Structure 1
Amino acid sequence: MGNGVFVKESKTTRIGMSRMQLLVLGGMLFSMFFGAGNLILPPLLGLQAGADAVPATAGFLIAGIGLPVLGIIAVALVGDIRQLAGRVHPLFASVFIALVYLTIGPFLAIPRTSTTAYEMIKPLVPGGDSFVLAAGFSVVFFAVAFFLALRPGMLSRILGRFSAPALIVLIALVVGSAIFGGLSDVPAARPPYDGNAASEGFLAGYQTMDLLAALCFGIVVASNVKEQGVTDPKKVTGAISVAGIVAGVLMAAVYCGLSFVGLSMAPAMPDAANGAEILAASANMHFGEVGSVIVAAIFLLACLNVCTGLISCCAEYFSEVCPRIPLPAWAGAFAVFSCAVSLVGLDSILAFSAPLLGALYPPAIAMMVMGLAHGACDKFARMWPWVVLSTAATSVVIALRDAFAPDAWIFLDALPGADMGLGWICIAAIAAIAGIVHSSIEKKRA
């Protein structure tokens, strides 16, 4: 090597990769899940959960870390998301995948990058609450993101290499300051965490959208493992599992730390509406105005980098599905649409995301579980449409009720676990039995 320093290669483990390779893969998974937009969720959870922050955070970790890692393993086992969703029905696969890309793209995730960045710089700008300033910021933000999305070259790579490490250092400083500052008072849990804190934390974890992203990009992780010379399916699964543990530990440390920041800020700002507001206030409290400027700048770069990647990724997918429309046109359309959505503000985007993700996550979880057990499920092929479609129908009905008539009672509220937002599990279990019976009848007729 150029500097004359040689590193002895780690011994290969039982799963065909060295410890160093597994650590690198774990870092890759961490970087996939480590988005600036996700960082605004745990502080608000910690602030609102109060004395019940521990069970609420535990539920959040299961949905925000456990499900995505299992999702990547499920995709690795069956091939890719098309093969996974295609077991239900080809039309369902097309619609579901499109909805997933739109959700982790222009519907939610892309607009959230702009609003998160603006929430961080708003306290530093005179008249920051002005709609005109917010709109002007969004226009400039998405214009730059669109420009970079069409030129994924040196500038984008520099942004990515700088923003992620800087964001990690920033989080460590903010969390460390909050820990050393201690807790002056721990308030009682507030809605929605004053009832079933763990299940509400689990539902809050939907807003990371990482399970949806994992189903789409899990094939990339599996391909990376195979490029290291590991081709045996069991070893590929083992490598991803170990790497998932590495990434999960890192993400858990980040999420727990940020939840503590929110808990520590509860006495000072009990009426905070979003996590970006909490992080900005914490940075100002511990580091002053100069620190707040640095925090805002780092978040701005990180959000811009994430936004650029999402626009490029979504445009690439839809240009493949509909090649008559070129990639730049898709990218421009997504940038303009996302800019328009961002004008409603971060609080409105987060409120809108709950029912949409409530509709998408249950069928995604059902497919993930069946993908992990695809060997058994494939023996009863009718299980796939029965379980996933019934789960999807149930979650859509509940999501529509939550969006338009949240106080209305529907028959699905009588299901076990419905009060925790998990009534669809009962429907999935019944559908699984129906799918087995249906498959058995077809086999006998054949």
Structure 2
Amino acid sequence: MKKTLKVTDIIALGFMTFAFFLGAGNIIFPPLAGQLAGENMLSAMSGFLVTAVGLPLVGIIAVAMAGGGWQGLTRDLPSKVATLMAVLIFIIIGPAFAAPRTGLVAYEMAVKPFLSAGAGQASLTTFSVIFFAIALFFAWSRGKLIDMIGKFLTPALFIVLAVLAIAVFVNPQASIVAAQGEYATQAFTKGFLEGYNTMDTFAALMFGMLIVDVIRSKGISDEKTTCTYLIYAGLIAAAGLAFVYISLFYLGATSSTVAPNAGNGGVILTAYVMALFGAPGQVILSAIVLLACLTTAIGLISACADYFSSLTPMSYKKWAVVLAVICAVVANVGLNQLIALSVPVLFALYPVAIALVALTLVRKWLPNPRLAYRVVLLVSFIFSMIDVAKYLKFDVSMFSSLPLFNYGMAWVLPTLVALVITRFIGGKAMGSHQDKLA
């Protein structure tokens, strides 16, 4: 008899997926976008939801269609290329950037406001050690992730977010004002690009594999059933993310009096929560940020440890310890430099990740998947390097005629053209020729 999950387990799996995606960055982006979009909030929010919710959901579905692992996603690529891609993605999204940032943001937004003005490096160091020790504890209990995060931590996070969302809609702090900057003329496009900057497509490829492991730890071995549960988890997570983003966009759009001309979404969120709840507001905000950062840190450490343990003789638990220690160290020293260094890498790899997801979705219609994967991913990488060069202040004005060049997305049209061309060329004859050359 084929084993199945209970409804409560499926819901917990979805909550766990939602929590992994919802980091502090995701909470901070929408309020500023909402404030700047103003009366064009609905259009900007729609664009944001496409890339901040739609792309990650499609990424989860792609992982499911590929059999739940990186090997399935990259089976048409040379193994060394696939491994290099994965290692770079896991390093950047894991110990080099995103995971340490969860600890730093948790400290700055959730803990530091309660400390005395003289609190310095020692308090950050102490907090980092405690924060990543807790994250390690949860990540170490690998088989119980769904129970501890999906059934306890995430519901607590969601309840606090729901309280904030209801308060925002019941008692908005200002009327919605005129749109500013690019939101006045191209709100949807600007919102679309802001959502792209959440970089959750990377996270979808990482967390998809982790969630498959969690499903299998529950005794589900059938591939089709695993795929179905993974898609269910993705849909629940997408619904949760959409709920949070919509409420935070509205919060931002009605924040003109409590946080005028704010420099970032964190300032808006802090001022708004204080206006709604007074002194207890900081406690509410701290609970949101701490839980969001902690669940994301757990997911990142778990996913990275899972992958690196598959490449090396070191066990999952040993990798989890190593990663947690690195995260605690990086959260204390040189984070700004690491962020600056990581941006070019992200510019180079994110388009490749999106192209990989697109190829996975259309693979069965490609006459020669090996040719298509190599050509399309190579084109996306080559043209993404234009955006890298522009970030590094090289003169790339010769490419300025490319659509979306000014938005750091010069790779989109060439990649799409390559995908269309490989849909109609490269049949069996070319495939057999490639096999001889390989």
TM-score normalized with structure 2 length: 0.81
Give the C-alpha shift of residue 349 in structure 1. 7.8
CA contact (8 A) 1:382 1:439 kept: no
- Matched AA of 1:366: A
Q: How is 1:39-438 mapped onto 2 (pairs within 5 angstroms)?
A: 39-79=27-67, 80-118=69-107, 119-127=109-117, 130=120, 133-146=123-136, 149-150=139-140, 161-182=151-172, 184-190=174-180, 193=183, 196-219=186-209, 224=215, 244-323=234-313, 325=314, 327=316, 330-343=319-332, 355-377=344-366, 379-402=368-391, 404-405=392-393, 408-432=395-419, 435=422, 437=425
Determine the structure 2 residue equivalent to 1:7: none
Give the C-alpha shift of residue 71 in structure 1. 1.5
Distance 1:222 1:136, change over 3 A: closer
Give the C-alpha shift of residue 264 in structure 1. 2.0
Distance 1:346 1:392 in 2: 26
Distance 1:19 1:158 in 2: 17
CA contact (8 A) 2:15 2:155 kept: no
Alpha-carbon deviations, 1:126-153, whole Å to 9, x = none? 3178555445533443355446545669
Distance 1:347 1:286, change over 3 A: farther
Give the C-alpha shift of residue 395 in structure 1. 1.4
Distance 1:277 1:248, change over 3 A: same
CA contact (8 A) 2:301 2:324 kept: yes
Distance 1:139 1:236 in 2: 36
SS at match of 2:279: helix
Note the aligned Cα RMSD (angstroms).
3.9
Distance 1:141 1:208, change over 3 A: same
Give the C-alpha shift of residue 257 in structure 1. 0.4
- Matched AA of 1:381: R
Distance 1:78 1:181, change over 3 A: same
Distance 2:341 2:39 in 1: 27
Give the C-alpha shift of residue 169 in structure 1. 1.6
CA contact (8 A) 1:87 1:384 kept: yes
CA contact (8 A) 2:100 2:327 kept: yes
Give the C-alpha shift of residue 45 in structure 1. 2.1
Give the C-alpha shift of residue 68 in structure 1. 1.6
- Matched AA of 1:270: P
SS at match of 1:414: coil
Distance 1:106 1:192, change over 3 A: farther
Distance 1:133 1:226 in 2: 38
Q: Does 168-177 or 268-277 show the bigger shift? A: 268-277
CA contact (8 A) 2:209 2:303 kept: no
Give the C-alpha shift of residue 210 in structure 1. 2.7
Give the C-alpha shift of residue 124 in structure 1. 2.9
Structure 1: runs of 5 or more not aligned: 1-15
- Matched AA of 1:176: I
Identity of aligned residues (%): 34
Distance 2:217 2:307 in 1: 23
Alpha-carbon deviations, 1:23-66, whole Å to 9, x = none? 66654543443445422222232233333332222122111211
SS at match of 1:208: coil
Distance 2:346 2:73 in 1: 19
How many residue pairs were aligned?
Answer: 427
Distance 1:25 1:156 in 2: 6
Distance 1:349 1:53 in 2: 33
SS at match of 2:176: coil
Alpha-carbon deviations, 1:149-181, whole Å to 9, x = none? 456698996576443222212112222222222
Distance 1:413 1:339, change over 3 A: farther
CA contact (8 A) 2:33 2:252 kept: yes
- Matched AA of 1:201: G
